[in-house]
Amino acid sequence: MANWFQKQWAAFTFWHIILIPLSWLFGIIVFLRKYLYQHGWLKSYRLNVPVIVVGNINVGGTGKTPLVIWLAEQMKLAGYKPGIISRGYGGSAQQVIEVLPDSNPIEAGDETVLIAARTNCPVFVSADRVSAGQDLLKTYPECNIIISDDGLQHYRMQRDVEIVVYDSVKGFGNGALLPAGPLRESKARLEAVDAVVSNGADSRESLKCFNPVVMQLVATDFYKLDDVQKKSSARAFAQQKIFAVAGIGNPQRFFDQLSDLGLQFESRAYADHYIFQAKDFEHINADVVLMTEKDAVKCQAFAQPNFWVLPVSAVVNDGLMRVVLNKLNSN
């Protein structure tokens, strides 16, 4: 069903005769909900420290996780002590939990485990971002800023800075609201946020009016999943039989990165946040199995000697930090 909707959201088809009226209804609900929060009919809460929200207006992965990791490191360099909160999408936790680098991704969510491992910051998850933030600050009172991974539409939590990330390849699909399109809010929402970040360069004229900051995901050397101290360049795999797997928002982006590294391989794409199991690899006949870091946290428990991981880091225009710091200093 998810794949069917993804195809419909890329353009307009016969099915939109049925879906567009539902989108109008969804848009009315979104507008009323936001209006009620803005005018105090629904109660919102302010945490004791500034809050930066990194979110999106469309369904599916856009590259928020590497930006959150980058932002946490930049805030440290600016003298802040950040804590990170998230819904823990894909995880089963029903209450507020702290996420550590060795937490179970099935409970805490794959992205949050990766964020905890990469940032060395306190990370708490809950569907209620306010409760997650309150518990984080109670446990780590030295934290003086909160970064929310997702939560743009979580208006119950007040925020000081809003950053929207979108995938330069997918853009915003057909531009329609759910369920006729992939949007949680209309593109007009981008006019109200503090910064728009494009994951990859985007040449579309229709989006240039938002003056997006470009984020590039830069790969480093591969590391061995069962022995992370062992590293390898792509050249070492050139003469081997390679199989690549990806269960992320845009698997093709990962496969394209491998191709850009000069590798030839078979590949298999899975749904975003797919829970990998050992049986998924039983019939793969390859010298090397390559995966993303987000997928690797779910494969750690059954890592094989031929599992290798490609880490990526965000490279972002300096202008984004200027916007963030200026906004924080003006509040």
The position carrying tokens 């500034």 is 50
- What is the DSSP-derived secondary structure letter of residue 229? E
Q: Is residue 29 part of a domain?
A: no
Cβ within 8 Å of residue 144, ≥6 positions away = 49, 50, 80, 81
Same domain flag for 180 and 247: no
pLDDT at residue number 4: 66
Q: Is residue 20 part of a domain?
A: no
Same domain flag for 77 and 207: yes
Q: How far is CA 284 from CA 62, 266, 268, 280, 307, in A?
A: 29, 10, 10, 8, 12
Same domain flag for 161 and 61: yes
The tally of domains found in the chain comes to 2
Same domain flag for 320 and 306: no
Q: Is residue 26 part of a domain?
A: no
Q: Is residue 148 part of a domain?
A: yes
- Report CA dihedral (228, 72, 61, 11) to the nearest 10 degrees: -140
In this structure, are residues 311 and 293 in contact, taking their beta carbons and an 8 Å threshold?
yes
The position carrying tokens 């804590």 is 83
Prediction pTM value: 0.94
> Mean pLDDT for the chain?
94
The position carrying tokens 């894909």 is 90
pLDDT at residue number 331: 77
The list of the chain residues with pLDDT below 50 reads none
Give the domain CATH number at 120: 3.40.50.300
**Residue 120 CB neighbour total at 10 angstroms:** 11
The span from the CA of 175 to the CA of 20, in Å, is: 12
Same domain flag for 50 and 129: yes
Same domain flag for 198 and 232: no
CA-wise closest residue to 87 among 53, 63, 58? 53
Q: Is residue 23 part of a domain?
A: no
Q: Report how far Cα 53 is from the mean position of its chain's Cα atoms.
A: 12
Same domain flag for 131 and 84: yes
Same domain flag for 233 and 88: no
Within a 13 Å sphere around the CA of 1, how many CA atoms are in the beta-carbon half?
A: 1
Q: Is residue 15 part of a domain?
A: no
pLDDT at residue number 170: 86
Q: Is residue 6 part of a domain?
A: no
- H-only helix segments in the chain: 2-9, 16-38, 64-77, 105-108, 110-119, 129-139, 205-208, 251-260, 293-299, 319-330
The span from the CA of 294 to the CA of 272, in Å, is: 10
**Residue 14 CB neighbour total at 10 angstroms:** 8
Q: Is residue 39 part of a domain?
A: no
Within a 13 Å sphere around the CA of 281, how many CA atoms are in the beta-carbon half?
A: 24
Same domain flag for 243 and 204: no
CA-wise closest residue to 198 among 36, 315, 109, 72? 315
Q: Point out which residues pair with 40 in neighbouring strands.
A: none
**Residue 70 CB neighbour total at 10 angstroms:** 22
Same domain flag for 253 and 320: no
The span from the CA of 156 to the CA of 135, in Å, is: 16
pLDDT at residue number 249: 86
Name the residue range of residue 73's domain.
44-216+316-330
Q: Report how far Cα 11 is from the mean position of its chain's Cα atoms.
A: 24
The span from the CA of 219 to the CA of 308, in Å, is: 13
pLDDT at residue number 2: 60
Same domain flag for 142 and 272: no
Same domain flag for 321 and 174: yes
pLDDT at residue number 3: 65
